């Protein structure tokens, strides 16, 4: 198991180095002089320009600049935002819990609904439930979620007035973040109505973000179940006279879950891409909105390091998924 783990980890190293090259190269291939870019619209004197270039290392050869960049990363220095002048890593860590909370709630909704729906659809293959749920899943899979979010806002926020339009919690409530997760913090604060407010802010964005993963999980669960139910050991279990609940619940489901768990884990990338759109629509103060804002404000240090941090996070989660896969499926480990 340790060899399996180390092997997977080693495999990631070249990919990560590649990503640092992309992030480093990204700022270099931008049209324009980076020093002028930093100076902004006020302009800069030639002497100050030379001084800044030397200070920032732009006069050195490109490979040496890249090594400096890597060195700074190793020390946890991800640069400063051009707009707020705060360290990028500080901003990332402040905003990350908002995206994590949204993503976790979304993937939980997706798994809790998607897996049972997929199992029932497979067991009752060809029934009306199968047809309706799989058609719905395909619609969900084809959904432009930025439009879906707007529709839900029209219905629930405008017509029914059940949920607020944007933000994480009503402005009436204020407390110090403990975990950064608004649902937990609002409970810890002990303020009346805070939790309900946080929940009502969270529910629509979470539903929107859950849509595509939910569809993918339901479809994947169904096909995994169908595949497993045709296997010899399931037929044997049936032939032994086991109840069909036991055959489905114990023999089929446990084996079908292996690819499904992988699918759930691999939705992290989808969630991050979806978070950019969802957070923009609902003004959710997370990483997705931060990235799109930084791109449109041309805050390149943020885009550069944000790209790096998000890619590292996605790779880490994928590594964890791989490891879980190895844990529950010994065949993979020994390949």
Partner 1 sequence: MSETAVKLSDAAIRRRMLADFWFYFSQNRGAVLGLFVFLFIVFIAVFAPLIAPHSPIEQYRDALLVPPVWQEGGKAGFLLGTDPVGRDILSRLIYGAQYSLFIGIVVVSISLVGGVLVGLLAGFFGGWVDSVIMRVMDVILAVPSLLLALVLVAILGPGLTNAMISIAIVYQPHFARLARAAVMGELRRDYVSAARVAGAGDLRLMFRTILPNCLAPLIVQATLSFSSAVLDSAALGFLNMGAQPPTPEWGTMLAEAREFILRAWWVVTFPGLAILISVLAINLMGDGLRDALDPKLKRS
Determine the interface stretch with partner 1 among 63-71, 115-123, 198-206, 304-312 (rule: CB under 8 A). Answer: 304-312
Instruction: Tell me which stretch binds partner 1 (CB under 8 A): 64-72, 109-117, 134-142, 191-199.
Output: 134-142
Alpha helix stretches (DSSP H) within the chain? 2-29, 34-39, 46-56, 62-74, 88-123, 128-141, 145-152, 182-189, 194-229, 232-239, 244-246, 253-265, 267-282, 287-297, 300-328, 330-333
Helix (H, G, I), strand (E, B) or coil at 80: strand
Q: Does 277 bind partner 1 (CB under 8 A)?
A: yes
Query: Beta partners for 87?
Result: 80
Q: Which of residues 151-210 bind partner 1 (CB under 8 A)?
A: 151, 153-154, 158
Question: Residue-wise over 199-233: b if at least 16 C-beta within 10 A, else e?
Answer: bbbbbbbbbbbbbbbbbbbbbbbbbbbbebbeeee
DSSP-based three-state secondary structure for 174: coil
Q: How far is the CB of 68 from partner 1 (least distance, A)?
A: 21
Work out which of 38, 104, 143, 258 binds partner 1, going by CB under 8 A: 143
Q: Which is nearer to partner 1, 198 or 204 (CB)?
A: 204
Name which position in 4, 5, 26, 175 contacts partner 1 (CB under 8 A): 26
Touching partner 1, residues 229-248 (CB under 8 A): 230
- Least distance in Å: CB of 148 to partner 1? 8
Minimum Å gap between C-beta 15 and partner 1 is 4
Does position 19 bind partner 1 by CB under 8 A?
A: yes
**Binding status of residue 126 toward partner 1 by CB under 8 A:** no
Which of residues 164 and 177 has its CB atom nearest to partner 1 in the complex? 164
**What is d(CA 141, CA 186) in angstroms, rounded to the nearest whole number?**
33
Assess 96 for contact with partner 1 (CB under 8 A).
no
Given the complex with partner 1, which of 214 and 291 has the nearer CB atom?
Answer: 291
Closest by alpha carbon to 187, among 5, 178, 244? 178
Rounded to whole angstroms, how far apart are CA atoms 323 and 300?
34
Cα R_g (the chain), whole angstroms: 24
Q: Supply the DSSP string of 99-139, one letter for each residue.
A: HHHHHHHHHHHHHHHHHHHHHHHHHTTTSHHHHHHHHHHHH
Q: Which of 1, 7, 9, 15 binds partner 1 (CB under 8 A)?
A: 15
The CA distance from 97 to 89, in Å, is 13
Of 286, 276, 294, nearest to 181 by C-alpha is 286
Q: Which stretch binds partner 1 (CB under 8 A): 55-63, 104-112, 197-205, 296-304?
A: 296-304
Nearest distance from C-beta of residue 187 to partner 1, angstroms: 31
In the complex, the residues that contact partner 1 under the rule CB under 8 A are: 14-15, 18-19, 22, 26, 29-30, 135, 138-139, 141-144, 146-148, 150-151, 153-154, 158, 230, 269-270, 272-273, 276-277, 280, 291-292, 295-296, 298, 303, 307, 310-311, 314-315
């Amino acid at each position: 198991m340790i060899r399996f783990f180390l092997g997977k980890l080693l495999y990631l190293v070249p990919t990560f180095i590649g990503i640092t090259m992309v992030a480093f190269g990204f700022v270099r291939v931008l049209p324009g002089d980076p020093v002028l870019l930093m100076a902004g619209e006020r302009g800069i004197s030639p002497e100050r320009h030379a001084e800044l270039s030397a200070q920032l290392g732009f006069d050195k050869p490109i490979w040496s600049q890249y090594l400096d960049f890597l060195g700074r990363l190793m020390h946890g220095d991800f640069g400063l935002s051009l707009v707020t002048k705060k360290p990028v890593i500080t901003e990332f860590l402040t905003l990350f819990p908002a995206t994590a909370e949204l993503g976790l709630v979304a993937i939980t909704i997706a798994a809790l609904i998607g897996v049972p729906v997929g199992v029932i659809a497979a067991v009752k293959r060809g029934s009306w439930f199968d047809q309706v749920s799989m058609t719905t899943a395909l619609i969900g899979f084809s959904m432009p979620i930025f439009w879906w979010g707007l529709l839900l806002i029209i219905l629930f926020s405008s017509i029914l007035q059940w949920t607020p339009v944007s933000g994480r919690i009503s402005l009436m409530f204020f407390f110090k973040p403990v975990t950064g997760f608004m649902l937990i913090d609002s409970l810890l604060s002990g303020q009346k109505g805070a939790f309900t407010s946080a929940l009502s802010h969270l529910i629509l964005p979470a539903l929107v973000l859950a849509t595509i993963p939910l569809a993918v999980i339901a479809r994947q669960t169904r096909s995994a179940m169908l595949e497993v139910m045709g296997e010899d050991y399931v037929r044997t279990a049936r032939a032994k006279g086991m109840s069909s609940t036991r055959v489905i619940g114990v023999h089929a489901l446990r084996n079908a879950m292996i690819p499904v768990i992988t699918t759930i884990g691999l939705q992290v990338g989808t969630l991050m891409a979806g978070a950019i759109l969802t957070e923009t629509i609902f003004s959710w103060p997370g990483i997705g909105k931060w990235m799109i804002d930084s791109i449109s404000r041309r805050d390149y240090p943020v885009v550069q390091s944000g790209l790096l941090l998000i890619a590292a996070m996605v790779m880490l989660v994928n590594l964890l998924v791989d490891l879980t896969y190895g844990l529950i499926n010994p065949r993979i480990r020994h390949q």
